[in-house]
Homo-oligomer: A and B are copies of this chain.
Amino acid sequence: MNSKFKIDQQHLLEVQDIFKMLSNINRLKILYLLDNESKTVNELVELLGLEQSAVSHQLRILRDFQLVSVKQVGKTKEYRVDDPHIFDIINEAVEHSDHVMRGANHGE
């Protein structure tokens, strides 16, 4: 039998969706930019060099996953990361990336 606990189809689909959501560099950048610091949509647009529309579309996805929260401030909206736990996953991937890079250097 496998060492890891069995995981059902339902769980796997959720995990797949989380990874899909994280598999876009602009969403990753947005998460980093909004970590512990709120920013408006236009600020993100400037920082990322993307169309305002593109940023809004990505923010909608992050909102759907309840990763960011919004606060209306005057005419603008301030976004920030609402669920810092998401960085636990991202950081594991960063570590894996480092880990693999090290391995590649050794191997060749």
Footprint of B on A, CB under 8 Å? 1-4, 7, 9, 11-20, 22-25, 28-29, 32-33, 35-37, 65-66, 83, 85-97, 99-101, 103
Copy number in the complex reads 2
- Point out which of A17, A23, A88 has the most chain B C-beta atoms below 10 A from its C-beta: A23
Contact call B25/A23, Cβ cutoff below 8 A: no
Q: Interface on chain A toward B: helix, strand, loop, or mixed SS?
A: helix
Among A1, A13, A16, the most chain B Cβ lie within 10 Å of the Cβ of A16
Taking A4-B35, A16-B23 as known contacts, 11 extra A-B pairs with beta carbons closer than 8 A to each other, sorted by chain A number, are A9-B25, A11-B97, A13-B25, A15-B22, A19-B19, A19-B23, A20-B23, A23-B23, A85-B99, A89-B93, A92-B92
Q: Separation in Å of the A76 CB from the closest CB of chain B?
A: 20
Task: Point out the residues of chain B lying under 8 angstroms from A33, CB to CB.
Answer: 2
- Complex-state Cα separation, A4 to B85, whole angstroms: 12
> A15: which of B9, B18, B66, B97 is its contact (CB, 8 Å)?
B97
A96 and B89: CB pair below 8 A? yes
